[in-house]
Amino acid sequence: QVHLVESGGGSVQAGGSLRLSCAASGFTYSNYCMGWFRQGPGKDREGVAAISPRGTSTSYADSAKGRFTISRDNARNMLFLQMNSLKAEDTAMYYCAADPPPCGVSIRADSGEYNSWGQGTQVTVSS
């Protein structure tokens, strides 16, 4: 059974950085595409970044390009999101999700491709 646990969220001032982590278990992690999604107050869930099973391909939302970096460590079954130059509009609950094979590097939150989700970690950016 897929189990995803996010950590690393917190409160930070605008311009600061955070590194989110997602610990995965219960499945063959290295076969799955993985993604980060977020849902801000009063907003729909949106895709932030995604990564292929071996980490050779990534996708980013326009809002994340140049500021966020997704990465994975298949030896430790871990997913990361390095977030730099944070803005108030990045405030949201951040979720990691797993997309089983065969998978594309999608950041569409409504595609149905991601069938397992973590509980989320809160990121709050103050201006």
* pLDDT surpasses 90 at 57: yes
Buried/exposed code over 55-88 (b: 16+ C-beta within 10 A; e: otherwise): eeeebbbeebeeebbbebebeebbbbbebeebee
Q: Measured between alpha carbons, how far is 2 from 56 in angstroms, rounded to an integer?
A: 23
What rounded mean pLDDT belongs to the chain?
A: 97
pLDDT at 109: 86
Report the share of the chain in percent with pLDDT over 90: 95
> In the structure, what pLDDT confidence band is assigned to residue 54 with cuts at 50, 70 and 90?
very high
* pLDDT surpasses 90 at 65: yes
pLDDT at 111: 82
Q: What is the DSSP letter of 55?
A: S
For 102-126, how does the pLDDT look when each residue is reduced to its tens digit (9 = 90+)?
999 999 988 889 999 999 999 999 9
Report residue 45 as tokens.
């869930």
95 DSSP β-pair partners? 37
